[in-house]
Structure 1
């Protein structure tokens, strides 16, 4: 059993009862093949929650600053995370992400690029659309709903894969692809927030 699997199971064992996490729509995650899971971002806890609730091993992009300390670099790397420079085009990170997708792996992305301070869904970065258009990956939207407060319920909802074939055929812009992804996340949040 890999370190990733052990860590994922331990974290999930702690977080699931602590935040009363309920997961819906796991059947929408393909069992194999290239995959991009796109989620809203409300807390630093989101990556382990998406990783723990998913049926696949997920590779995450994380801000470069986190990799500066040797011990943290080693830990994050063993947890399938790799660095990306914020606020600029990081070609190395883009290449690494596309290679992972080409190899049939799963990538976890937070299109907003940073945590929402209000809990409301923000604007999506065009880079997300770039990955969706430049790969043959299934793109699955994910909504994390509810505050991470002990005793309060948190929902993690996976939606059906987003149709991307038409945008790839039309050679759509990365922004158009991102807008479609963000709309799917927004609809998941709205549909699942009240019940």
Structure 2
């Protein structure tokens, strides 16, 4: 067993015993080929949750500061993460993500760029739209519906792929593509959020 699978199993065990995790729509994730999971971001546990219950390895951007910590700087790359400098255009992070997609791998993005302080869906940054338009990757909207409270319901929803054919033909901007992604994430939240 590789270190990624080990980390995945540990994450799954921790999350499943700490929360009532309900996973919906796993069948929407392609078995292979370039894939982008775009998810809302409400908690530090979102990255391991997003990848814990699926078979494929997930590569995701993590803030540069984490790679400067003694233990994490060696561990994170082995767990599929790669660094991104927030608040600026990080060309190295973009190249790394494009390389993974060209190799037919799957990456996870949090289009908001940072955790939501109030749990509400924020505005998406243009990065997710950029990757969606510049590659032939399948784009899957995802929603994590919390909150993360011990032994309470926690939903992880993988939506159906977003069709970017029209936006690509129209040469839409990265901002427009991200808006489309955020709309789909919001639809998942609205559909699966517990009704008050």
**Scaled by the length of structure 2, what TM-score is found?**
0.97
CA-to-partner distance for each residue in 1:78-102, whole Å, 9 max, x for gaps? 1100001100001111011001000
Q: Give how far 1:54 is off.
A: 2.6
Alignment of 1:4-15 (within 5 A): 4-15=4-15
Does structure 1 residue 192 correspond to structure 2 residue 165?
A: no
Q: Give how far 1:170 is off.
A: 1.5
CA-to-partner distance for each residue in 1:109-131, whole Å, 9 max, x for gaps? 00000000110000000011001
Secondary structure of the 1:101 match is helix
Gaps of 5+ in 2: none
User: Which residue is 1:142 aligned to?
Assistant: 142
**RMSD of aligned alpha carbons:** 0.9
CA distance in 2, matches of 1:140, 1:55: 15
CA distance in 2, matches of 1:167, 1:98: 19
CA distance in 2, matches of 1:157, 1:44: 17
Aligned residues of 1:39 and 1:144 also touching (Cα < 8 A): yes
CA distance in 2, matches of 1:181, 1:122: 12
Q: Give how far 1:38 is off.
A: 0.4
User: Which residue is 1:37 aligned to?
Assistant: 37
Secondary structure of the 2:71 match is helix
CA distance in 1, matches of 2:140, 2:100: 16
CA distance in 2, matches of 1:187, 1:36: 18
Aligned residues of 1:101 and 1:137 also touching (Cα < 8 A): yes
Task: Count matched residues.
Answer: 195
User: Which residue is 1:178 aligned to?
Assistant: 178
CA-to-partner distance for each residue in 1:17-56, whole Å, 9 max, x for gaps? 3111010000000110000000000000000000102332
Structure 1 runs (4+) deviating above 3 angstroms are none
Q: Give how far 1:192 is off.
A: 0.4
Gaps of 5+ in 1: none
